[in-house]
Amino acid sequence: MAMRPMPRADVFEFYRRLAEADPAPQTELAYTNPYTLLVAVALSAQATDIGVNKATRKLFAEVDNPAAMVALGLDALKDHIRTIGLFNTKAKNVIALSERLLALHGGEVPADREALEQLPGVGRKTANVVLNVAFGHETIAVDTHIFRVGNRTGLAIGKDVVAVERRLEAVTPAPFRAHAHHWLILHGRYICKARTPLCWRCPVADLCRYKPKTPAPPAPAAEPSPLN
């Protein structure tokens, strides 16, 4: 049987509870300006935010604009991000997108999805994150976490990330659109996990279409009293 979409009234309540639990969610990537955010998001593909932050801590202290990144050079950049997966390809893309920003945008990160997606190594998800976090656009960047949450809960059912993004754009109520991306990604990262969702901790479990719900683990056995 196909998953039933979540009713509109439940969608509003779904977001309301996530907002109540975390009124002002933030990205977990460390950045200092739109450019370092763009670089961090580009580096985060198939990598964890924690791993990216460790690699960019020293990098962003030294480099925070496209001209400085080009001056740093490919080999030095590779040394900074060597611990991140696919670092060779990512380093080439970061240098190339920095050169493109200098040549076409005066060294500034454009607040435009089409222009962002023309940069090397920047796809729709990266563009949406930058637009949302750096420029306050009401975009929703669908990664593996949001794709899973959308389909598992019935919030936004779709066969691919674009379909889920379009559905989220259609059903997300206006008061929650600015922060929807962060609420959903954090929910997927820490509660609605891929292998074993923590349903017993979930604030929206009763609204979710996922079955069966994961039960709470058994309580640890009590330590015997030293008086016995």
Annotated binding site for [4Fe-4S] cluster: 192, 199, 202, 208
Phi-psi region of 188 (alpha: psi -120 to 50; beta: other; left: phi over 0): alpha
CA geometry: angle 188, 193, 199, nearest 5 deg: 95
Amino acid at 195: R
Binding-site positions: 192, 199, 202, 208
Rounded to whole angstroms, the Cα distance separating 5 from 23 reads 25
Residues noted as catalytic: 125, 143
| Length in residues, the chain | 228
Give backbone dihedrals phi and psi of 6, rounded to 5 degrees, phi first: -70, 130
| Largest Cα span, the chain | 78
Phi-psi region of 145 (alpha: psi -120 to 50; beta: other; left: phi over 0): alpha
Cα dihedral angle (26, 31, 32, 36), rounded to 10 degrees? -130
Give backbone dihedrals phi and psi of 97, rounded to 5 degrees, phi first: -70, -30
